[in-house]
Amino acid sequence: MEPVASLHGVGARRTALITRATGGTRVIDVLFHLPERFIDRSDCPSIAAAVPGEIATLTVDVVTHRKPEPGTRQPWRVQVTDGTGFAELAFFHNHQARSYRPGLKIVVSGKVERFRDTLTITHPKYIQPADGAAVPAIEPVWPLVADLRPSDFRAVAVQALAKIPELPEWHETRLLSRERWPGFAEALRALHAPRVHPDASVRARLAYDELLAHQIAVLWVRTRERARAGRPLTGDGTLRFQALARFGHPLTGSQTQVLAEIDADLAAPSRMLRLLQGDVGSGKTLVAVMAMLRAAEAGAQSAMMAPTETLARQHHRTLTKISPVPVGLLTGSVKGVARRNTLLGLQSGRIPLVVGTHALFQEGVAYRDLALAVIDEQHRFGVDQRLSLGSKGDATDILVMTATPIPRTLLLTQWGEMAVSRLSEKPAGRQAIRTSLHSLATMGDVTDALARALGRGDQVFWVCPMVAERELVDVAAAEARYRTLRLRFGDIVGLAHGQLDTEVRERALARFAAGETRLLVATTVIEVGVDVPAASVMVVEHAERFGLAQLHQLRGRVGRGAAASYCLLLHEDALNEAARRRLVLLRDTEDGFVIADEDFRIRGGGDLMGRRQSGQPGWRLADPVEHDGLLQMASRDAAHLLERDPKLASPRGKAIRLLLRMFERGAALRTLASG
């Protein structure tokens, strides 16, 4: 793939600008930088017929020049005619006007306006000799960066178009004719150097190219990972039986079913790559423990990785209560003797289950026989990172747990390499959470209601917003809220936020969990997984600043015990319509899937789990939300293709390899070659 610097007139400076604008350094990246709209200059009326307010392309003779009155801010004017009438071109600098000498025949294009009865084009976009290059009838407008002129980018794009080699078609002829799609090069030409306004099929063709490349890469990885030799893990159920006895409740129907799917994977000789999806409170942890104990029954080890220290410690407490065998803890803050003991235990195999943060998979941590890695709430990581977690064991099975109900679209794009299990039913005894909206102005009433709840012995989460960019202000606000509430309720009020030392924060959470404090002011450190069944009231301050999915996660922190639960969303008085709709949706439904889909739609999917967080190359031509239908098609297409041609050796397969390279999804192929 040639670099943009190979193009004429592109030096170091322009390469930098083009890279900033397009996000790539290759010639093909220029072509993947599609115009966002088109200006129609195809209207070529006579001066007499030109319509003010419209863009017109006129062929005219220059008649005279008019200087501005000295001392005024008037423009320089060039009077022109085409025999049907007169018009003026206005320029703010003489040097722009003076090159158009009287008698010259020119073509000009720009927006026509009427000033004092004179048709005027101010700073025409195009002025060229009538016998020179034609003004484009349709002008693409690219999203560009400062200092990169559209005309320069056009010149680069035109050169890039000329460099597209003869490429074999990678789509089936049947599909192309059914969808009326142009060829790849033809589609790019139709967008970057259009002769007519391109229709939607052009964009669709290119979007499909990208979606297909992505789906093939994802499927390729999945096939490879699954084919990789795993090891059958089986057990007699003794440890599980003991664990359930300690836990005190039977598995729910949903847990039983999901566990059967996991067991089948564990028992199979190939490697497990499974995503366990379950709404907040659906009981994923118990399922994970059962899976880990199966590894222990088979004489092997298992590790559970949590995204935060807080959550790791909490899982450790939970697992220690349930597991009949020892459970280790390994996080960044486990130091000294405790750390050495854990490391030794993992190496010798004395510790069969371990919980921790990513410290679990760092260098210097050796396992005797790691058979299963459980990753909790890891939706923020990309495919490569997920897979690297298995590297501590030869054939480590991987189970990822997520509470974020992932929209169907994202399952395909981000999780395509995983098989999916879903926990649909929540453990019995969970209460519906009554959610209500309150203006921040009614803070007095809210605290009065809290006084009554605390009087009944309830425990309360009070969540304050926390945004990285305004961390100091947010922390200050949370601390101020803590002081105010403490003035009213005394030392039953605790405080936990991300700026506190880990130890201080852990202690605050532990005291709240133990019921020593009963109102905890916190930022979103409690978002993922903090389990305090006695907490039955949640107050969210400035709820409008949170994402929907995030609010849903937060709300899941209450309603975990037997008591009736409440969630009070406090919001700014003046809410815009969209913000109100979001909060009302949250108030009216507890279905995480409905909320996730809605959130995904509202936010366009781009950033929810988009390029920044996933670590995957972003989307250039496709928008997985807008092109959802094409995505489903691409997914089926990819499956068929790899079924018939698993090594991409057929003519179509070879063409597809080119496609993957172009969209930078070729890395998947390389790993196949080496793996």
Closest distance of CB 426 from Mg ion, Å? 12
Closest distance to ligand ADP from the beta carbon of 534 (Å): 11
Q: What type of residue sits at position 1? A: M
- CA dist 436 and 663 (Å) reads 47
- State the minimum distance, in angstroms, from the CB of residue 197 to ligand ADP: 51
Q: Which entry of ligand ADP, Mg ion, none binds 140, CB below 5 to 8 A by partner kind?
A: none
Nearest approach in angstroms of CB 243 to Mg ion is 17
| C-beta closer to ligand ADP: residue 291 or 621 | 291
Query: Least Å distance between CB 376 and Mg ion?
Result: 6
Residue that is written with structure tokens 């991987």 in the block? 398
Nearer to ligand ADP, 288 or 450 (CB): 288
What's the min distance (Å) between Cβ of 23 and Mg ion?
36
Q: Cα(247)–Cα(144) distance, rounded to whole angstroms?
A: 60
Element at 121 (helix H, strand E): strand 118-122
| d(C-alpha 463, C-alpha 478), whole Å | 8
Closest to ligand ADP by CB, 24 vs 283, is 283
**Measured from the CB atom, is 9 or 429 closer to ligand ADP?**
429
- Cβ-count burial of 101 within 10 angstroms (0-12 exposed, 13-18 middle, 19+ buried)? exposed
The least CB distance from residue 590 to ligand ADP, in Å, is 13
- Could you say which of ligand ADP, Mg ion, none residue 249 binds, taking C-beta under 5 to 8 angstroms by partner kind? ligand ADP
- DSSP readout, 18-54? HHHHHS--BHHHHHTS--SEEEE------GGG--TTS
Exposed/middle/buried for residue 79 (C-beta within 10 Å: 0-12, 13-18, 19+): middle
Give whichever of 276 and 656 is closer to Mg ion, judged by the CB atom.
276
Helix, strand, coil percent content, the chain, rounded in steps of 5: 45, 20, 35
Smallest distance, Å, CB 570 to ligand ADP?
24
Q: Which does 252 bind (CB under 5 to 8 A by kind): ligand ADP, Mg ion, none?
A: ligand ADP
Report the nearest approach of Mg ion to the CB of residue 285 (Å).
5
Q: Which residue's CB is nearer to ligand ADP, number 261 or number 572?
A: 261
- How many CB atoms are located within 10 Å of the residue 568 CB? 21
Contacts (Cβ under 8 Å, ≥6 apart) of 267: 232, 233, 234
Partner from Mg ion, ligand ADP, none binding residue 282, C-beta < 5-8 Å depending on class: ligand ADP
Q: What angle do CA 459, 553, 545 make, to 5 degrees?
A: 95
Residue 630 CA to chain centroid, in angstroms? 19
Are 89 and 125 spatial neighbours (Cβ–Cβ below 8 Å)? no
Q: How far is the CB of 238 from Mg ion (least distance, A)?
A: 26
Choice between 390 and 529, CB closer to Mg ion: 529
Ramachandran sector of residue 9 (left: φ over 0; alpha: ψ -120 to 50; beta: rest):
left
127 versus 244: smaller Cβ distance to ligand ADP: 244
Q: With respect to ligand ADP, which residue has the nearer C-beta, 262 or 446?
A: 262
Q: Name which of 206 and 530 has its Cβ closer to Mg ion.
A: 530
CA contacts within 13 A on the Cβ side of 380: 6
Q: Residue 307 binds what, of Mg ion, ligand ADP, none (CB under 5 to 8 Å, by partner type)? A: none
For the bound state, the minimum distance from the C-beta of residue 304 to ligand ADP, rounded and expressed in Å, comes to: 11
Task: Please report, as ranges, the residues that interact with ligand ADP according to CB under 6 A.
Answer: 249, 251-252, 255, 278, 280-286, 403, 427, 531, 533, 560
Contact 386, 398 (CB under 8 A): yes
Instruction: Give the residue carrying structure tokens 């509470």.
Output: 403
Hey, what are 260's tokens? 């059967």
Q: Which does 560 bind (CB under 5 to 8 A by kind): ligand ADP, Mg ion, none?
A: ligand ADP
Q: Closer to ligand ADP by CB, 425 or 572: give it.
A: 425
CA distance 10 to 17: 10
Residue 531: which of Mg ion, ligand ADP, none does it interact with, CB under 5 to 8 A by kind?
Answer: ligand ADP
Instruction: Please state, in angstroms and rounded to a whole number, the distance separating the CA atoms of residues 92 and 101.
Output: 17
Other CB atoms within 10 A of residue 93 CB: 10
Residue 517 partner contact from ligand ADP, Mg ion, none using kind-dependent CB cut-offs of 5 to 8 Å: none
Residues that bind Mg ion (CB under 5 A): 529
Kindly report the backbone phi and psi dihedral angles of residue 292, in degrees, each rounded to the nearest multiple of 5, phi listed first: -65, -35
Closest by CA position to 271, among listed 401, 374, 371: 371
Helix (H) or strand (E) holding 106: strand 105-115
Which of 329, 318, 338, 309 has the alpha carbon at shortest distance from 503?
309
The two three-digit tokens of residue 561, written as one number: 């015990």
Residue 286 binding result from ligand ADP, Mg ion, none, given CB thresholds of 5 to 8 Å by partner type: ligand ADP
Tokens representing 66 are 């008019």
In whole angstroms, the minimum distance from the beta carbon of 429 to ligand ADP comes to 7
Nearer to ligand ADP, 35 or 283 (CB): 283
Helix (H, G, I), strand (E, B) or coil at 392: helix
Min. distance of Cβ 669 from ligand ADP in angstroms? 37
- Measured from the CB of residue 275, what is the shortest distance to Mg ion in angstroms? 14
Q: Which does 255 bind (CB under 5 to 8 A by kind): Mg ion, ligand ADP, none?
A: ligand ADP
Least distance to Mg ion, CB of residue 284, Å? 5
524 binds, among ligand ADP, Mg ion, none (CB under 5 to 8 A by kind): none
Q: What is the DSSP letter of 134?
A: P
Q: Report what 498 binds from ligand ADP, Mg ion, none; CB cut-off 5-8 Å by kind.
A: none
Q: What residue 278 binds from Mg ion, ligand ADP, none (CB within 5 to 8 A, per partner kind)?
A: ligand ADP
**List of long-range contacts for 16-25, beta carbons under 8 Å, 24+ apart:** 17/145, 17/147, 17/148, 18/148, 18/153, 18/156, 20/145, 20/148, 21/142, 21/143, 21/144, 21/145, 21/148, 21/153, 23/618, 23/620
